Each structure stands twice: as C-alpha cells, then as structure tokens.
Structure 1
Amino acid sequence: MTTVASGSGVGPLLRGWRERRRVSQLELALRADSSARHISFIETGRSRPSEDMILRLAEHLEVPVRERNALLLAAGYAPRYAETPLDDPAMGSLREGMERLLHGYEPYPAVVVDGTYTVVAANRGIAMLLEGLPEHLLTPPLNAMRITLHPEGLAPRIRNLREWRGHLLAQMERQIALARSEPLRKLYDEVAAYPLPETGGGDVTDPAPHPHFALPLQIEHEGRVLSFVSSISTFNTPMDVTVAELAIETFLPADPATVKYLQSLTP
C-alpha cells in the first residue's frame, strides 16, 4: 500500500528526495529539462507540477516505484503503478519464469525475496542450507534476514558471521536510505538486536587456498564448510510495485570443494 505523510504536499516530498540524493535544484532542473526557478516553485508549493513533471523528476531522482505513486497522490493525481499480488493470474508468466530460473540454478542455492526480505520462492539448494532449523523460523512467511541472523537460525553455522552480518546490515541500511519503508526499518531494528551466538565459528573468515574475489558466505553443512559469493538481480524498468521490489539472490560456489560437494548431491 502506498502511503503519504499527513499534511505533506508533493513539493516537500520532492525536496526531501532531492536532498537525499544530494542534488541541487539547478542540477535537477538541467537533468529534467526545466529551470531552477520552476523546481523551487514546485518545492515551495507555489506551482503545481503536472503528472509528467512529477514522474520525470522522480525518474532523475531514482525514486522507488512505490514512492512515485506517493508523490502522485500527494499532488492529487491517481497512482500510475499497480501493485499486483504475486499470486494473481496476471503474474503467472513471471512466477513460471522465476521458478525455471531457480530450478536451472540447482544444485547451487537461489532465492527470490520481496522488499522486506520475505521469501517468495527458493530452490532445493536453499532448502539444503535450511535443514534442521527450528519450525518457528520456517513457518511461512519466511524472512531471509531473520532466518540468516537469528541465533537459532543459520547464524551459528556461519563461520564468518561478524563479517557476513555486517554486510547484510549495511545492505539494509542502504535500502532504508533509498526508500522510506517502515516495515524494513522495523526488520532492521529486530535483526540488528539479535545477540551473536555463543557457539559456532562466527568470528573470522577461515583461511582459504584460493583468493576471494568477493566477501564469501562460509557456512557449515553436515560437517563441511561451504563457501559462496552472492549476486543480486532485479527487474529492469518495472511498471508494477510488486515487481519493482523483487530481488533474486544467487549463491555462486567460491571454491572447488563447494562445487564438488554440491554436484555430488545432484541425482
């Protein structure tokens, strides 16, 4: 659902996004083929921007799709972008495409999450890593951040937990800075407050015979330490709020031993 701060017109909202992006009125005007005077008038409420102008400014300010709807509502216009539930029949081809992608990536782990890290879909590689976790963490809706950082979740199995935890919290901080999401802020406050497990490897990255080209996730599974680097993909030019907030995270084996072990599990 798109929300607008009470009493906030479109001008203050646009000014907030411009300041958040550290862009001057003149720079924004040049990008949007306007004038600094007109941008100033919009921000102070002396001028009511057109729908097209709001969307143009939002594009140049990289405003998330959900918040573009909020800007339009604040200016008295109808939202431009739908928010279609993922289980809607209209999303059938998208769901099928994601399922094929996840299945094709096996035996390596891959997962799809929404804007608050609720797990939308996952493959058998992810299911393997979650084996043995308590039921209360695996009861839908699953949350990837909660499962990873909870002291009863994957955290005790992660050998370089301090580094990986720092990476995940920094990732969430960047997202919160880019989008005003109260649910994401609440999730961050929750997982950041989790204590570090008293047991488990979770202090330093294990020495590896192969140099790391990115921070690895080093996680124990049945007495072995598996090593992965992750990659996150999003959809280009989304026209739906739901699609705009989906992210596909794939975990690439970071060493030959992890490749060999995962492939040995493939029928």
Structure 2
Amino acid sequence: MTTAQTSAGSLIREWRTRRRMSQLDLAMEADISQRHLSFVESGRSAPSRDMVLHLAEQLEIPLRQRNQLLLAAGFAPSFGERQLTDASLAPAMAAVEIVLKGHEPFPALAVDRHWNLVAANAAIGPFLANVVEASLLTPPVNVLRLSLHPGGVAPRIVNLAEWRAHLLDRLKRQNDATGDPVLVELERELRTYPSGLKGNRPVPVEPNAIVHPLRLAHGDAVLSFISTITVFGTPLDVTLSELAIESFFPADEQTGAALTRLARDRAAKAP
C-alpha cells in the first residue's frame, strides 16, 4: 500500500463527504460495488486511471481538483492549465470579448476562479464610480472584495444587506463545491465587512421576488439590475473551466434608459 494510493482514497472519501453521498450512493452512481469503493477509499485497492476519472465525474469534481486526484493516485494530470494569454486560448478569449461587447450598453464582466477581474465591457463604469479605496482597483481586482468593501461599491448599494447575503451565499456554495483555500479565506474576510443591518435584524426578503436584484445609487438615480452567469459548456482546460461571465440586465425601464444614455455619452466623448 503506497502513500499515493492512500492519499487518493482519502481524497475520494473527502469529496464524497463534501457531496453528502454515502458509499452506497456513490457506488450506485458509478456502477461499481460498494465493497470495491470501500477498498479504494481505504487504500486497500489502487484505482486505475479510468476509475479515478470515472469517480471524479460522478462526484462532479472540478478539473483542477481532478488533476490533483490523479497525481495522488500516481498518474499524470489529464487536463491542461494555460495562461489566459496563451495562443491556444485565443479563440476562447475572443468569444469572451464578443459576449462582453455584445452585451453593451449593459454591464458585463469576466472573472477567474477567485473572482479576480479578467475583462469587462465599457458599460461597467457605473460600478466603479466613487470608489474611494484606490487599492481595490489595483490589479488583480477582486470583484467580490470591490463590491462589499466599505471603501468600494458597498456604500452605493441601496439593498446592501440583501446583496451581501446573496454574494456570500454564492461564495459559500462555491467553497462547498471546490474546497479552495483562497476562497475560504476570501469568504472569511468578506464576512467581516459591514452587513448593512443594524443589530441582529434578519436580512430582508422582498415579497414575490424571483431573483436577487442589485440596486445601485448612481448620481440622483438608482440603477436596478438582475444578472446571469455564463460558463464554457465543455472545457478541457483548467483555466477555461474556471472562467465565468456575469452579465447584468436592467431590472426596470428606467435603468435601461439610463444605461442607454450613458452609452451615448461615452460615444460622444470618444475620439
């Protein structure tokens, strides 16, 4: 019994526990015997490369962590990890730019696995106005930190308590799914920021709401947004699998009209 085998089994057990699956549940999903899975997890049986990848698929383990699992089992990683500037990712990055540009006059941005800003369109301006803590805009710009920091966008978020709870819930679910220590530390940091609530009052929930809106003060107006997340459908590269585009849409006619006016103003000032 090798350390690699024991480590691989421990990782599989850890991911199974994180997914709240029993050994029997995973064995049935993977179409293997519970006895075999038990032997793999305990290190009494060394899983093949195909078995490692098969179990990782059933557990919906992210590509980065699948590579780690393969290494623990004594195999080479299956999924490449390239820099976003790598020539082989140029078509994918071009697609990101098309999506961002095509979403104008509404804001959209792309982030990596740690919520660091990768790219944004020209309509993102209202989100960056009046940020008083300059370090928040120093690359790499962390979008969640920028949003919730008291020196960032937070003072202009009209429904800060609700939006903060929404973002922290998203981050917690991402932590539960990936176990990324950087995100765990980010969540811990963000929870120390002001909540927008006095005392122990619960976060308000709007009656009949179907999505979490973002309401942002901009000048004398309040811009109201709903958002969607877009990811690549079948990535085989780690970096690409961790890239996400968040697109903001106007939640009311006034916001749509205001964003259209801002776009016209930008066009008029362009050289």
CA apart distance, 1:207? 8.9
Contact 2:148 2:193 in 1 (8 A): yes
Q: 1:26 matched to which residue of 2?
A: 24
Preserved contact between residue 70 and residue 77 of structure 2 (Cα < 8 Å): yes
Partner of 1:151: 150
Task: Please report how far the alpha carbon of residue 206 of structure 1 lies from its aligned counterpart in structure 2 after TM superposition.
Answer: 11
Secondary structure of the residue aligned to 2:85 is coil
- Distance apart, 1:118 and its partner CA: 0.2
Is the Cα contact below 8 Å between 1:42 and 1:49 reproduced in 2? yes
Q: Which residue of 2 aligns with 1:137?
A: 136
Q: Structure 2: which amino acid aligns with 1:29?
A: A
CA spacing shift, 1:220–1:31, aligned 2, 3 Å: same
Please state whether the residue corresponding to 1:152 is helix, strand or coil: coil
In the TM superposition, residue 194 of structure 1 has moved relative to its aligned partner by 1.4
Aligned equivalents of 1:123, 1:17: Cα separation in 2? 37
Matched-pair contact (CA < 8 Å) for 1:160–1:204:
no
Cα separation, partners in 2 of 1:123 and 1:75, compared to 1, 3 Å: same
Aligned to 1:260: 257
2:214 maps to 217
SS in 1 for 2:182: helix
1:103 aligns with 2:121: no
After superposition, the C-alpha distances for 1:111-131 in whole angstroms (9 at most, x for unaligned) are: 111111000001112123202
Structure 2 residue aligned with 1:182 = 181
Partner of 2:81: 83
Aligned to 1:194: 193
Moved over 6 A (4+): 203-208
* Number of positions where the alignment pairs a residue of Structure 1 with one of Structure 2: 257
In structure 1, the residue corresponding to 2:51 is in which secondary structure?
helix
Tell me which moved more, 136-145 or 17-26.
17-26
Instruction: Describe the SS at the equivalent of 1:194.
Output: coil
Pick the structure with more helix per residue: 2
Distance 1:34 1:169, change over 3 A: same
2:90 maps to which of 92, 104, 112 = 92
Q: Is the 8 A contact 1:227 1:253 kept in 2?
A: yes
User: Helix, strand or coil for the counterpart of 2:146?
Assistant: helix
Which blocks of at least 5 consecutive residues in structure 2 are unaligned? Answer: 265-271
Q: 1:218 to 1:43 in 2, by over 3 A?
A: same
Q: Matches of residues 223-234 of structure 1 in structure 2 within 5 Å? A: 223-234=220-231
How far 1:25 sits from its partner (Å)?
2.0
How far apart are the structure 2 equivalents of 1:179 and 1:64?
7
> In structure 2, how many angstroms separate the alpha carbons of the residues matched to 1:54 and 1:154?
43
Residue from 40, 45, 69 that aligns with 2:43: 45
Contact 1:41-1:47 at 8 Å conserved across structures? yes
Deviation at 1:230, TM superposition (A): 1.2
Q: Which amino acid aligns with 1:257?
A: Q
Measure, in 2, the Cα distance between the counterparts of 1:131 and 1:206.
27
In 2: Cα distance, 1:7 partner to 1:72 partner: 10
Q: How far is the alpha carbon of 1:8 from its aligned partner?
A: 5.8
CA RMSD across the alignment: 2.3
| Cα distance in 2 for residues equivalent to 1:180 and 1:228 | 30
CA distance in 1, matches of 2:136, 2:21: 42
Kept after mapping to 1: 8 A contact 2:229/2:247 = yes
CA distance in 1, matches of 2:116, 2:161: 23
- Three-state SS of the structure 1 residue aligned to 2:263 is coil
Once residues 104 and 20 of structure 2 are traced to their aligned partners in structure 1, the CA distance between those partners, rounded to angstroms, is: 42
Query: CA, structure 1 residues 153+92, in 2 after alignment: closer, same or farther (shift >3 Å)?
Result: same
One-letter amino acid of the structure 2 residue matched with residue 227 of structure 1:
S
Q: Which runs of 5+ in 1 are unaligned?
A: none
Q: Which amino acid aligns with 2:249?
A: L
- The whole-number CA distance in structure 2 between the counterparts of 1:29 and 1:195 is 45
- Tell whether the 8 Å contact from 1:217 to 1:229 is kept in structure 2 after alignment: yes
